[in-house]
Amino acid sequence: MVDSMGQGTNDNSAAVRHIYVHIPFCARICPYCAFYKERADPAQAKRFCEALVAELGAIALRPKTIFFGGGTPTALTTDQLAFLLDGFQAQLDLSELEEWTFEANPGSVSGRKAQLLRANGVNRISLGVQSFDDGLLQLLGREHSAAQAEASFALLRGAGFGNLNVDLMFGLPGQTLAQWEATLQRALALKPDHISAYCLTYEEDTEFFLRHARGEFRTDAEADADFFVRTDELLGNAGFEHYEVSNYARPGFESVHNRAYWSGSDYLGLGPSAVSTVGLRRWQNVSDYRVYAERLLGGESASTGNEILTPGMKRSESIALSLRTNWGIPAEWVDDRPNEVEEFVRLGLMLPQAERYVLTREGRFLADSVAAAFI
């Protein structure tokens, strides 16, 4: 259901503790990526930053977490980042902030940017490495080499970041298990605090999707399962906890922001294409940064309208998100589906655990299909 209010915030929004900020710029567009992003244009980006600070001005929050994603937040210039950070410092009460993450690309991290972020309270960086194999990085259209990714990681540590994530992808066209193991080993050698390991998905409206449709690239579910199991083994042996299907953390380094999201907490999304959910109300900002800037700087909302979630939709989302995590779902959420529960337990995909159900390693690889049976 979509109503016509198109409002970005309301009274309940003031109690929201988690903020997502979408920065829609990238130095280069990767052929597999379906997130809303455009080639960075310094002149337009300045106006966009002004609009973002204007959107922030409409809310008064005391966030626990802030997550700058994209796109590539570090594709902004140092001056633009300084302008945004000043805006956030001035307009939000950051006294209870626990985690402030910035996504970064090895091609656009610099010592000055790293120091600026650190000095302004950003305490977690998620570095998009994808692979430590130069051939695969080329196939992925990345703007950096494996060595540059290592150098960026060292630079971020040197700047004082004690909480660093590395994003990696497996199931890439032509990738062998040995190549993936080598990437995981090189990632571990950097001693990151968190690793996100995503299975490549062929997203609609991307070049990779077309190449897949033409038969140039093939999906191989069995190979993907092998990559997944090997990741779980290697990272588990290195002391990482597999706390969500695609996420591994050293003890104490699980992402507070993502945990809140997976647990169904309310969140506000700022920036073009960003989604907000407060109670049963959900809205999305317009997915065009020029229109976004025009609206905000003209005193209008960037929202495309409200959707009112039904309790049933909320329940389905909670099952789908929580099942992906190592805390699973309360047993009572599925007590109306005893046959499915029994079948998944019998197949070794799900385990009862203290009034909850959690997925086994095999179950996690099939998390979305298991969730689909309950919703």
Ligand X SMILES: C[S@@+](CC[C@H](N)C(=O)[O-])C[C@H]1O[C@@H](n2cnc3c(N)ncnc32)[C@H](O)[C@@H]1O
Given 19, 21, 26, 286, the residue binding ligand SF4 (CB under 6 A): 26
Q: Is 22 in the site for ligand SF4 (CB under 6 A)?
A: no
In contact, 322 and 262? CB cutoff 8 Å = yes
Q: Rank residues 140 and 358 by Cβ distance to ligand X and give the closer one.
A: 140
29 binds, among ligand SF4, ligand X, none (CB under 5 to 8 A by kind): ligand SF4
Q: Rank residues 33 and 97 by Cβ distance to ligand SF4 and give the closer one.
A: 33
Cα dihedral sign, 103-21-101-260: negative
How far apart are alpha carbons 68 and 77 in whole angstroms?
15
How far apart are alpha carbons 287 and 365 in whole angstroms?
31
- 71 upstream amide cis, omega within 30 of 0: yes
- Biggest CA pair distance of the chain: 59
Q: How many CB atoms lie within 10 A of CB 28?
A: 16
Q: Is 209 in the site for ligand X (CB under 6 A)?
A: no
# binding residues, ligand X (CB under 6 A): 17
Q: Rank residues 198 and 327 by Cβ distance to ligand X and give the closer one.
A: 198
Cα dihedral sign, 85-86-88-92: positive
Q: How many CB atoms lie within 10 A of CB 88?
A: 23
Residues numbered 126-145 forming contacts with ligand SF4, rule: CB under 6 A:
128
Given 72, 175, 183, 322, the residue binding ligand X (CB under 6 A): 72
Tokens of 95: 């006294």
Residue 72: CB minimum distance to ligand SF4, A: 5
In whole angstroms, what separates CA 287 from the centre of its chain? 17
Residues numbered 66-95 forming contacts with ligand SF4, rule: CB under 6 A:
70-72
Q: Is 70 in the site for ligand X (CB under 6 A)?
A: yes
Applying CB under 6 A, the residues found at the interface with ligand X are 26, 32-33, 35, 69-70, 72, 103, 105, 128, 130, 167, 169, 198, 200-201, 203
Applying CB under 6 A, the residues found at the interface with ligand SF4 are 26, 29-30, 33, 35, 37, 70-72, 105, 128
